[in-house]
Homo-oligomer: A and B are copies of this chain.
Amino acid sequence: MKRALGVCYYPEQWDEAVWESDATRMADLGLTWVRIGEFAWSRMEPQPGHYDWTWLDRAIEILGSKGLKVVLGTPTATPPRWMISKHPDMLAVDDKGQTRGFGSRRHYDFSHPGYRGECAKIVTELAMRYGKNPHVAAWQTDNEYACHKTVLSYSAAARAGFQTWLAQKYQSVDALNRAWGNVFWSMEYSGFEEVGLPNLTVTEANPAHVMAFRRFASDEVVSFNKLQVDILRRHSAAPIAHNYMGQVTDFDHFAVGADLDIASWDAYPIGFLSDRGFATPEHKRHFLRQGDPDFQAFHHDLYRAVGRGRWWIMEQQPGPVNWAPWNPDPLPGMARLWAWEAFAHGAEAVCYFRWRQAPFAQEAMHAGLLRPDSEAAPAHDEVAEVARELAAMPEVQQTQAQVALVFDYASDWAWTTQPQGRDFSYFRLAFDMYRGLRRLGLDVDILPPDTGDLSAYKLVLAPGVATMSDNLLKALAGFEGTSLIGPRANSKTAEFAIPVPLPPNLPGLDAKVMRVESFPPDVTVPLTQGGAFKHWREKLDGVATETTQDGFPAVIKGGKLHYLCGWPDDTAADRILAGLCAAEGLATQIMPEGLRRRRAGDVTFLINYNAEPVTHNGVTVQGCDVNWSGK
């Protein structure tokens, strides 16, 4: 498939007089796609039930007339002010019981029936008007579900929805009481209407209660999205996407993605390095103006799985953003590098956010491809270069990775609910293992937790998956390759209890977790063969392939299934992973810091996140540059 470039555009924010020259400049720059509409509800429906489509008709016509293909967004992330007057209780409530008000975005509760009705109406109107429009070539539902912590709401609407969801699931409240162990601390209910939301309790709520609420809340996002998708499909054949955010785990992206045609994500490498992640100060300093060398790749591989192969970047950082703790300027070359890295991982399109920097409102300090005075900003010319390179390059192909990592959103809820050690993070654990594979130069596929077929892989990792699905357990039982499961894997039942017999209960592995412990960051458990466990370790009684210095198994083996008994540091991860790869005949090589490799068909990309050149296997890659074989 041919890769393409695009941009996000807000015609409603500019004088109509500039639309035509904007469209012309976009086309001249080599862009294919333009995403519009997702925040324009107040212009589409200025008063309840009164629609104004004329401006949008004209905008789409002008863009389309220059050859641009439109991604049209449903505007449901920004209900207008009149909506709040009409549905005062549609606002979400935070975990402190405070209503989250109008005045920014995402001010709605996924569980509010009235708001869902309004969304159905506006999406229907939009779909009917533009469903057959030749320029509208794709749809986006809403915008960045979960952003600003908007999945969990503690409102009356959420409570009512949760009670209904529980009644459906458990049928009887006695079943719920038994499932959650509510006899503990006399927490038993005599009816579903007695079940509250698990916030504002005196001390921690029952983790089974919290997990049920997390599952309910994720389901609400799925059904909210599906409501829109079903309407759009009725009126349009164009593919439908949603733009997910980086390191957002509050809902199950695989479940939302199952209803969509394309996954896309919003990639802000420098903002994320400042705002998210777990990097050391040295690491943050080193990659301050480039971003983390594995963070984008992880999400590329994750969203390739969420999109079942089809994925985009819907918003690509073009310069400093406005929302991170600090907002440095990307080094020259990074706007191009990020795009090429995405294409190397299989992206169909990379759209920059945004065309022109808005001089007003919340994102006035967020750079665009144009400055507020419409002159080209630095990224503009890098995009032109990518467009030229794309045109000159044969189509990017895909490679089947030989290594896979299982990623499970519910496990992030599980270990957030019950970290057992203050700094335990499922995302971090999974990302650490992913980084370890990338440090060895490997291509990685990310797999959903209900994967039932592992036959394409030689090595499969499943760190920290709280409850392993029957599908996955069956696949592991029949897997001919090597697997590395754990730590903390399969350690909970579906109702968040400790299983008896004790974990991990994995096929072919005769072992039990006798005890677990967490410890602070200044403590480790050294391994006999080098490296150490950090944060977390488990004491198992199986037969060890290697041990900790205090005499417990570090890795346990049953056939080719291995259980990892703690959270390895880099040294331990490198050694253990390289060993497993070697046994499977997978060649590995420790990559230099900041240099990463990705194969796509016959092409091998070398991507250098460092500011300085790096030479690897005789090839020198300039700082902030990407090389590919045959270039």
Contact = CB atoms under 8 A, between A and B. Distances in A.
B502 A373 contact: yes
A327 B360 contact: no
Interface in A312-357: 319-320, 322, 325-329, 357
A601 interface: no
A200 interface: yes
A363 B185 CA distance: 10
A612 interface: no
A115 B208 CA distance: 28
A377 B107 contact: no
Nearest to A181: B360
Interface string A354-366: 0001111111110
A105 B373 contact: no
Contacts of A78: 185-187
Given A41-B186, A364-B207, A502-B372, A104 B202 contact: yes
B327 A363 contact: no
A582 interface: no
A249 interface: no
A631 interface: no
A110 to B, nearest CB: 13
A185 B105 contact: yes
A288 B362 contact: no
A502 B357 CA distance: 12
What is the oligomeric copy number?
3
A20 interface: no
Contact of A103 (B79, B148, B205, B378): B205
Interface string A90-107: 001000111111111111
Interface string A168-208: 00000000000011111111111000101011111111111
Interface residues of A, number: 109
B81 A187 contact: yes
Contacts of A198: 103
A420 to B, nearest CB: 5
B517 A103 contact: no
A526 to B, nearest CB: 14
Given A188-B80, A372-B502, A518-B327, A183 B359 contact: no
Q: Which 4 A-B pairs have the closest CB atoms?
A: A181-B360, A184-B361, A42-B186, A359-B498
Given A107-B202, A185-B361, 8 more contacts: A13-B181, A80-B186, A85-B194, A104-B203, A181-B360, A208-B361, A285-B520, A359-B499
30 contacts: A13-B181, A39-B185, A39-B186, A40-B186, A43-B186, A46-B188, A75-B186, A78-B187, A81-B188, A97-B98, A100-B202, A101-B201, A102-B201, A104-B205, A106-B203, A150-B202, A181-B358, A184-B358, A185-B362, A205-B362, A320-B516, A320-B517, A327-B517, A328-B517, A328-B519, A359-B497, A360-B497, A364-B498, A365-B420, A373-B501
Interface of A: 10, 12-13, 39-43, 46-47, 75, 78-82, 85, 92, 96-107, 147-148, 150, 180-190, 194, 196, 198-209, 274, 281, 284-285, 288, 319-320, 322, 325-329, 357-365, 367, 371-373, 377-378, 418, 420-422, 495-502, 512, 514-520, 522-523, 539
